Amino acid sequence: MATLLLVDDNTKNLQILGSVLNEHGYKVAMAKDGPTALTMAAKLKPDLILLDVMMPEMDGFEVCKHLKEDEVTAAIPVVFVTAKTEVDEIVKGFTLGGVDYVTKPFNREELLVRIKTQVDFKESKELVEKQKVELLEANALKDKVFGVIAHDLRGALGSFREFANMMTDSRIELTKEEMQDFFVALKEQADTTFELLENLLWWSRCQRKVINPSPERFDLRECIGTAIESLKYQLEKKNISVELAVNPGIFVVGDQQHIGIVMKNLIHNALKFSNHEQKIEINAIPKDDLVEVEIVDHGAGIPEEDMNKLFNPNMHLTTYGTDGEKGSGLGLQVCKDLLEYSKGNIFARSRVGEGSIFTVSLFTELI
C-alpha cells in the first residue's frame, strides 16, 4: 500500500482528497502547512506528496525547494495541486523538481490516474536501482572469486608443469621412492584442483539460478556413507576415523545429489582442520519434522572474527588446514546455496583449539 502525504492549508480540501484516496487503497497522511509537511516527509518518507501551491507563510514552491535540497526527501515525487494554469507557474513547479501538477477543482479520474502513474514510476525506478546495486555487488564478488580461483589454478598448473619438466629432463634421475612421492603429491594436487573446480561449477550454477532441484525422500545414512567413501584416501592419509552415529532408516527430503555434495564438503572441511589420528563424529538428531545432522571435528577451530564470514557471499575467506591444505572458501557457500534448494539450513559453532560443529537441518517430509 502506497503512502501519500497531502499538504493543503484548507481542512475541507484535505478531507475530500483524503477520502477519495482512502477509497482507492492509499494510506494517507496530512499536513496543513509547509514546516509540518517538511517534518512529516522526512519522518514518513511517503511514496508521493500532493502539494498545494497557494499556502500562507511558506507556499508550495518553497516547500518543494526544501524537499529537494534534503537528501532524505529529495527522491520523493511531488505533484503540485494548483488553481493556477499560467504557463510560468507550471514551468516553475517543474523547474523546482515537481513531477506533475493537478488543477483545482480536480477531476477525480484524472487525479487517480496521475497519482498511480507517479507511484508506479517511483516503484519501478527503485526496483531498477536495487537491481543495479545487486548487479554491481554480484560482479564485484565474481571478480574477487575468479581472482582467487585463477591464483589457485595457476599454482596447481605450475606444479603439474614442474613435474612434467622433471619427467622429461634426461639429466634428472629419480629413485623409485622419489617417483612414488612425486606421484602422490601430483594426485593430491589433482584432487585439490578437482574439488576447487567442482565447487566453482556449483557456485556458478547457484549464482545464475539455473539449478532445478529434484526433491525426494532418501536414506540419510546411505547418503553420508557415500560422501565418506569418496574421501577415503584423504582420511587414510591423516589416519582420521569417522564415527557415524546415524541410524539406518532415517529418511530426509531434498535433492539427494545436492545433500551429498553438502555432506562431502562438510566432512572434507572437518578432516582438513583435524590433526592426524583425530576423530570426526557425525550425529543425526530428530526434532519434530526435522533432522539435524552434526559434523563434529576436534581440530584447529575457527577464530571468532572469521565466524561471520563463513556463509557470507560478500566476504571471501581463504583458509589452510593442519597439513597446509588450502581452502578457497567456496565450499561452505556452495553448501548454504544448495541447502536452500532443499529448504534446509546450516549453521556453525566453534572454539579455537577445540574444534568445530557444523549443523545441517533437513525436513523429513515434503513441505
302 vs 234, 264, 275, 298, 351, CA distance in Å? 21, 19, 14, 11, 6
Which helix or strand (DSSP H or E) is residue 23 part of? helix 11-23
Output the nine-digit C-alpha cell for 221: 545414512
| Dist CA 255 CA 342 (whole Å) | 6
Check pLDDT > 70 for residue 311. Answer: yes
Whether the Cβ atoms of residue 359 and residue 293 lie closer than 8 Å to each other: yes
Res 260: pLDDT: 94
How much is the average pLDDT of 149-176?
72
Angle 15-21-23 from CA coordinates, rounded to 5°: 100
Provide the pLDDT confidence category of residue 309 given band limits of 50, 70 and 90: confident
Q: Measured at the alpha carbon of residue 314, what is the angle toward residues 313 and 316, in degrees to the nearest 5?
A: 85
- In the predicted structure, residue 32 carries a pLDDT above the cut 60: yes
Strand order of the sheet with strand 3-7?
27-31, 3-7, 48-52, 78-82, 100-103
Share above pLDDT 70 across residues of the chain, in percent, rounded to a whole number:
92
Average pLDDT over residues 158-166: 75
170 pLDDT tier (thresholds 50, 70, 90): low
Backbone torsions φ then ψ of 241, nearest 5 degrees = -100, 155
pLDDT at residue 264, rounded to an integer: 93
> What pLDDT shows up at residue 344?
94
Which residue's C-alpha cell is 582467487? Answer: 148
**pLDDT value for 40:** 95
Q: Is 186 within 8 Å of 159 (Cβ atoms)?
A: yes
Share of the chain above pLDDT 90, in %: 51
- Structure-block grid coordinates of residue 99: 513531477
Q: Is residue 143's pLDDT more than 90?
A: no
pLDDT in tens, 235-288: 998 999 999 999 999 999 999 999 999 999 999 999 999 999 999 999 999 998
Question: Nearest-CA neighbor of 157 among 189, 110, 201?
Answer: 189
Cα 104 to Cα 87: distance, rounded to the nearest angstrom: 15
- Specify the pLDDT at position 314: 65
344-353: pLDDT as tens digits = 999 999 999 9
List of domains in the chain: 3-106 (3.40.50.2300), 135-210 (1.10.287), 214-367 (3.30.565.10)
- C-alpha dihedral, 142 to 143 to 147 to 153, nearest 10°: 40
DSSP 278: -
Give the CA distances from residue 207 to residues 42, 128, 263, 333, in Å, rounded to whole numbers and listed in that order.
37, 19, 20, 11
Summary mean pLDDT of the chain? 86
Does the pLDDT at position 151 exceed 70?
A: no
Side-chain-side CA neighbours of residue 299 (13 Å):
29
The pLDDT assigned to 261 comes to 92
Residue in the block written with cell 497519482: 115
Q: What is the pLDDT of residue 41?
A: 95
Q: Which residues of 15-45 are buried (b: 16+ CB within 10 A; e: fewer)?
A: eebbebbeeeebebbbbeebeebbebbeebe
Q: In this structure, what DSSP letter does residue 107 have?
A: P
Check residue 355 and give its pLDDT: 93
pLDDT at 191: 77
